[in-house]
Amino acid sequence: MSTRETVVVLDFGSQYNQLIARRVRELDVYCELLPHDTTAAAIKQKGAVGVIFSGGPDSVYFNDGPKADPAILELGVPVLGICYGLQLINQMLGGEVKGGPAEFGRRVVKTTGGALFQGLPDSWECWMSHGDFVSRPAPGFTVTASTDTCPVTGLENPEKKIYGVQFHPEVAHSRYGRDVLKNFLYGVCGVKGDWTMKNFAAQAAAALRGKIGDKKVLCALSGGVDSAVAAALVHEACKNLTCIFVDTGLMRKNEAAEVMRVFKDERGMNVIKVDAEARFLTKLKGVADPEKKRKIIGGEFIRVFEEEAKKIGSVDFLVQGTIYPDVIESGVGKSAVIKSHHNVGGLPDVVDFKEIVEPLRELFKDEVRACGFEIGLPASIVMRQPFPGPGLGIRVIGEVTSDKLHILREADFIFRDEVAKAGLEKEIWQYFAVLTGTQTVGVMGDCRTYDYTLALRAVTSVDGMTADWARIPHDVLERVSNRIVNEIKGINRIVYDITSKPPATIEWE
């Protein structure tokens, strides 16, 4: 059983479920997202100090709607239900839920006291997204909030330590949503707040020293933020660390040279560079399906490390920069797989190491950055924009070839160069180019062309779990478009992706 204060969020399918976990962690409390059918015994084993039922798209009065273990409500651990979670708890305890009145978007919530609303105004804007409502509260529960169209927006039973809200306190549109969660965590659950990056870094280093000792370790170093922080954590705890940088040929322009300069020359780390472009392209020949590409790339990564391990002698551990969003999006329990990440879902069944060590597996992206600063890494490394493990292999839609990679690499460089020249690189969380598999008719020099369409993607975000498309000024986009079609042969059309996450993911594949 963990000694760390832990809150469990049960996933009932809400688009905001990861956001709930992030908001809890922002309040200095460790949080895990688990499937809705996690048993009370499993929650008790984790030593949970609180449980949150997330929202979800289903109706609780349908037989096929997701349910929870009733014993959770008898653990004596405080429980908070959000939207569907509130409705489910109410029904489980003898209340009634009906369809309508539906509420979507901003609504004014009016509160009448209760533990969740301590210190808050009597009315304020919240974010609603529901088609059902609590028509009759369960016995023993008091209504603590309402809107003009929803009579039960807040419920509580202090004796049972069970609370619920119909709105979504985790989204920024709920003005005092953070305070509601804080009241639940600190006022109801009685947490002290021991989840900080200073504590995490110290505990992670100690755990790594205890696990690794004087054994040999290989680190999968890509040059990205995740692998850099993972390598630095292990480097602090282990003196027998060898970092393997695999140049897959799927990197951005000049990136391979930059990785070696920063980590080997400047940081003095033991880094071995493996040139494997031909090997990866051979494996990817004729493969268009994105999931297959991810698994092939993940499999080849491991095979390369196995081979390098044999060259340097017996190696016990492989370190990877897997982070929590990778784990969530690759599927947790019965949660849907959004996409397999090369270092989670793409691992082969047999790995020639004693164990894979993932020191950042519990962290969201912004927590990884905070951890990087905590252990003394420079901003030039910590604040690099995210780059997927499969690299440009999933930014070339369809089959990956050397010619396509050259086109995309040059176009991506121009995009990033113009964003930097415009002084926007700190405002945009991630920006890149995608070579679509679509060719269209164009006219260049009075001649007909039939070349590729290039998509530009730029988003603003905090942790990558949700993202909004970046409002890049039109004159910057115009310069990018003009340079690409004039400087790079093979592209005759540029489009800009204005889709947020959700419903899209940040990457196209």
Digit-coded pLDDT (tens) for 473-491: 999 999 999 999 999 999 9
Could you report how far apart the first and last alpha carbons of the chain are, in Å? 38
Averaged pLDDT for residues 424-428: 89
Whether residues 223 and 282 share a domain: the answer is yes
Instruction: Determine contact, residues 48/69, Cβ cutoff 8 Å.
Output: no
- Residues 3 and 30 sit within 8 Å (Cβ to Cβ): no
The reply to whether 243 falls in a domain is: yes
Average pLDDT of the segment spanning 412-422: 95
Q: Is residue 502 part of a domain?
A: no
Q: State yes or no: pLDDT of 322 exceeds 60.
A: yes
pLDDT of res. 376: 85
Q: What is the CATH number of the domain that holds 295?
A: 3.40.50.620
**169 and 240 part of one domain:** no
Least confident of 224-233, 270-279, 384-393: 384-393
Instruction: Indicate if 220 and 260 belong to the same structural domain.
Output: yes
Residue 504 lies in a domain: no
Please check the confidence at residue 75 and state whether its pLDDT lies above 60.
Answer: yes
Torsion sign across C-alpha atoms 366, 371, 374, 380: negative
Residue 81 has pLDDT above 60, yes or no: yes
Domain boundary, last residue among 135, 158, 188: 188
Q: Quick one: angle between helices 474-487 and 402-421, nearest 10?
A: 150
Rounded to an integer, the average pLDDT of 338-356 is 50
Question: Does 277 reside within a domain?
Answer: yes
Residue 446 has pLDDT above 80, yes or no: no
Residue 261's contacts (CB-CB under 8 Å, 6 or more residues apart) are: none
25 domain-assigned: yes
pLDDT at 287: 95
Share the mean pLDDT of the chain.
88
Are 155 and 302 part of one and the same domain?
no
Q: What is the pLDDT of residues 135-148, one digit of tens each?
A: 999 999 999 999 99
Smallest CA-to-CA distance from 323 within 372, 275, 271, 287 is with 372
Backbone angles phi, psi at 320, to 5 degrees: -130, 155
Q: How confident is the model at residue 344, as a pLDDT? A: 39
- Are residue 440 and residue 329 in the same domain, yes or no? no
Give the Cβ contact number of residue 481 at 10 Å: 20
In a domain, 230, yes or no: yes
The one-letter amino acid at 279: R
Q: How confident is the model at residue 463 (pLDDT cuts 50, 70, 90)?
A: low
Which residues participate in catalysis according to the annotation? Answer: 83, 168, 170
> What are the two backbone dihedrals, phi and then psi, of residue 400, each rounded to the nearest 5 degrees?
-95, 125
Q: What pLDDT is attached to residue 329?
A: 62
* Domain match, 70 and 178 both: yes
Mean pLDDT of 152-166: 96
Residue 408, domain extent? 401-496
Instruction: Decide which of 189 and 338 is more confident.
Output: 189
pLDDT at 385: 76
Residue 144 covered by a domain: yes
Same-domain status, 416 and 440: yes
- pLDDT band of 352, cuts 50, 70, 90: low
Is 372 inside any structural domain?
A: yes
Q: Which residues contact 333 (CB under 8 A, 6 or more apart)?
A: 11, 34, 35, 37, 38
Report, as an integer, the average pLDDT of 431-437.
95
In CATH, what number is assigned to the domain containing residue 47?
Answer: 3.40.50.880
pLDDT at 346: 40
Q: Can you tell me the distance from the alpha carbon of 17 to that of 466, in angstroms, rounded to the nearest whole number?
A: 11
Tens digit of each residue's pLDDT (9 = 90 or more) over 204-223 = 999 999 999 888 888 888 77
Q: Of the residues 382, 410, 434, which one is the last residue of a structural domain?
A: 382
Check pLDDT > 70 for residue 334: no
Residues 43 and 117 in one domain: yes
Let me know whether 271 and 376 are in one domain: yes
- Average pLDDT (436-448) is 86
Output the domain CATH number for residue 451: 3.30.300.10
Which DSSP state fits 399?
S
Same domain as 156, residue 34: yes
- Tell me: do 174 and 203 sit in the same domain: no
> Looking at the predicted structure, is the pLDDT value of residue 349 above 60?
no
Number of structural domains (the chain) is 3
Mean pLDDT of the 109-135 span: 93
Tell me the per-residue pLDDT of 297-315, one tens digit each, with 9 for 90 and over: 988 887 887 788 778 877 7
pLDDT for 5: 93
**Lowest mean pLDDT segment, chosen from 77-86, 353-362, 401-410:** 353-362
Instruction: Count how many residues are written for the chain.
Output: 509
Span 93-108, average pLDDT: 89
User: pLDDT of 268-298, one tens digit each?
Assistant: 789 999 999 999 999 999 999 999 999 999 8
CB 371 within 8 A of CB 360: yes
Is 436 strand, coil or helix? strand
The residue with greater pLDDT, 177 or 383, is 177
Say whether both 310 and 210 belong to one domain. yes
